[in-house]
Amino acid sequence: MRAFYTLLLTVFGFWAVEYAIFHTDAYYTILRHDSSTGSVETYVRNELKRGRTNPHQVLTIGDSRMGFLPRYANELAPGTGYQFASIALGGATPRDWYYMLRGADPQANKYSAVVIAMEDYEDSEIEEDLSVRAADLYYLIGRLQYVDLPYFAGSYRHDRALEWAAARGIVLKGLVYKRDFQEFLLHPVERVKLAEQARRDSFFWYYNYVGPNQSMEGVQVDFVNRTVTVPPGFTEAQKAAYTFRFLAPHPPDHGVHSEYLHQWLGKIYEHYHGSKTRMVFLHLPRGPFVRPDQPAVNPHSSVRELAQKPGVLLLPEHLFDLLERPSLFVDQMHLNGPGCAEFSRMLAREVARELDAL
């Protein structure tokens, strides 16, 4: 019995220490702000404490292609009547978006609209199966709670090893934070200073970001002869990336990506269903060059089905077509600084117009 109680106390003590460090706000005070976990925590926490000067708030979310810079949109506030913010994050997926939105808006009552950036409106298949994206656990570990274990871990049901890793990670978060903690131990003083500075200044770092000035001017894509030509100064790696983006065959459609989008965009809808917040979907600019083999219209895509429900809006699919030119893109997918500025202004005006028309 003594051995049993010793074991029991040891397990309880381990759990208590693990919980106190990794399941509370304690570890955030030393977390590296630009790690995958740190980026999510920084964006969400900055949004929670952001000053609001207008009762009409709009929050945008997406991945790195969501080149929305709130500063430009907010310069138009006297005309639009809305204040804009963004928690769009490079590498974030729809699964991440759900938990990030839940973290930034737990009661689903802070925003007039949440604007979600989509690659297209057709649920086109992509190379990666996002349902088994292991990195999501590292992005979201600071957002996940014990209550999330069944659904989050269960979302990896197509890969039992990842399902178990997700469940284990939620229970023992220290396993996920392990590498970050090891790096902290190497340079603890510098890490603490960096974490303090990020908590104090990171909102302004991101809010004042203007984007790169480089562009795709001079690049040529011949869709007939299936060639890409780049001017001097571009690398072979860049040329290969352009060739893959614009000329490689589309992945065969097996419905995998559509199933995933139905699940996670549906979860976001569940979060906001019955609230004052509108879900607004936008079709991102397709790129500096537009492939002629665009996906066919899918009336049963996730966003088109959601658009039939109350509180959901689809912005015009071709709203940003005029931005689809090499001078406004830094690479095959991402807008450059001038492109982001124009995109942000256009989006602010269109969202305000759509919301005012309701």
What value, to the nearest 5°, has the Cα angle with vertex 331 and ends 325 and 334?
Answer: 80
Residue 3 CB neighbour total at 10 angstroms = 7
| Token digits of residue 40 | 């999510």
- For position 18, what pLDDT does the model report? 79
- For position 20, what pLDDT does the model report? 81
Residue 351's pLDDT band (cuts 50, 70, 90): very high
On the question of pLDDT at 8 being above 70, the answer is no
On the question of pLDDT at 14 being above 60, the answer is no
State pTM to two decimals. 0.95
List pLDDT tens digits, range 155-185: 999 999 999 999 999 999 999 999 999 999 9
Q: Which amino acid is at 60?
A: T
Nearest to 325 by CA among 338, 312, 306: 338
On the question of pLDDT at 9 being above 80, the answer is no
- For position 13, what pLDDT does the model report? 63
List pLDDT tens digits, range 71-85: 999 999 999 999 999
Residues in the chain: 358
Residue 300's pLDDT band (cuts 50, 70, 90): very high
User: Among 22-36, 152-166, 261-275, which stretch is predicted with the lowest mean pLDDT?
Assistant: 22-36
Whole-number Å distance between alpha carbons of 353 and 316:
12
Cα–Cα distances (Å) from 268 to 49, 208, 280, 289, in that order, read 22, 29, 11, 31
- For position 22, what pLDDT does the model report? 87
Cβ–Cβ < 8 Å for 348, 76: yes
Q: Which residues are CB-neighbours of 337 under 8 A, at least 6 positions away?
A: 210, 211, 212, 213
Q: Which amino acid is at 107?
A: Q
Cβ–Cβ < 8 Å for 309, 316: no
Which of 21-35, 170-184, 277-291 has the highest average model confidence (pLDDT)?
Answer: 277-291
